[in-house]
Structure 1
Amino acid sequence: MKLIQTLLVVALSGLSFAASAQWQWLDKDGRKVYSDRAPPSDIQDKNIIKRPGNYKAPVVAPAADAAVEGDAAAASAPVAGQAAALPASGAKPAGGLDKELEAKKKQAKEAEAAKRKADEERIAKAQIENCARAKQAKTTFESGVRIGRTNAAGEKEFMDDAARAAELKRIQGIIDRDCK
């Protein structure tokens, strides 16, 4: 019984450490604000008094447009993974997330286009190979040489004129389809 009480005390004390992970900052009027969430993006870093112990500052990815236009708000906007740093009012951040989302969409479209192009190249290569094989087979069939095949029983048999004509027709269909 004493062991269970000791474990319970240890577990509850561990929870108190998690509860102490609080943010403190000064708002625009100079008042101290306490929260378990990160301050809004309009709070300057110098006004943040206390951060949770394991908090790592967000990595700011400067947007290309912000550097050109000199838009400091867009350049210091939080990264997409930092949703906790967004204002609670649901207002849109100053361009950083939208630009990153657009960049990800563009990257996905480029990856899709590259995949489609690779598939088209693979299909074109297969058509070229099929065309070459069909032309070679047509030459062989038109040469008049006796062509032998192995049947289902494993016996060798030679093609008659009707089978040769049917095979030539099939090969010509392949040539018409793949040799463009």
Structure 2
Amino acid sequence: MHFKSVLRALLLALTCGSFALTAFAQWQWIDKDGRKVYSDRSPPADILEKNILKRPGGFARAAVTPEPATSAADPASPAASASAGKASAPKLSGKDAELEAKKKQAENEEAAKKKAEEEKIAKSNAETCERAKKYLGTLQSGVRIGTTNTKGEREIMDDAKRAEESKRTQSLVDGNCK
């Protein structure tokens, strides 16, 4: 009986110790955007050695092969410009392209909605303009115009009311007929 309890305690200690070791197996580096990254996996190959801040014990970074001497010595060479272009170009995964496509589609839909709203406003302004022009023409023609007062009684517009209404209608024409 005593042997089994000692064996269990030993197994428990080994298990706890292995969890503690894996918890401390953390990589830490600074990515291309300057953000600090923590991970249990090694950084991507494009992360420079100087940007690796912490690595778990026992892990060594794979040796980086130097570029050919021609590209380092002559920055104008095609090999140097091609490698510089590859290094600076962002790498897009399938998810990024899919996200960009969805973002582009949302922007297109938003632009279409905005255009439709602008067309609706323009159409409304054109209709208001036409009605205001017709009403202004009627006011300026001198024809007797009847209106209904608040009591529901019919009244004929006098000259003062006609001048006031003409001024208001002219401002509508000026505002909507551009």
Instruction: Name the TM-score, length of structure 2 as normaliser.
Output: 0.48
Instruction: Name the TM-score, length of structure 1 as normaliser.
Output: 0.47
The structure with the largest alpha-carbon Rg is 2
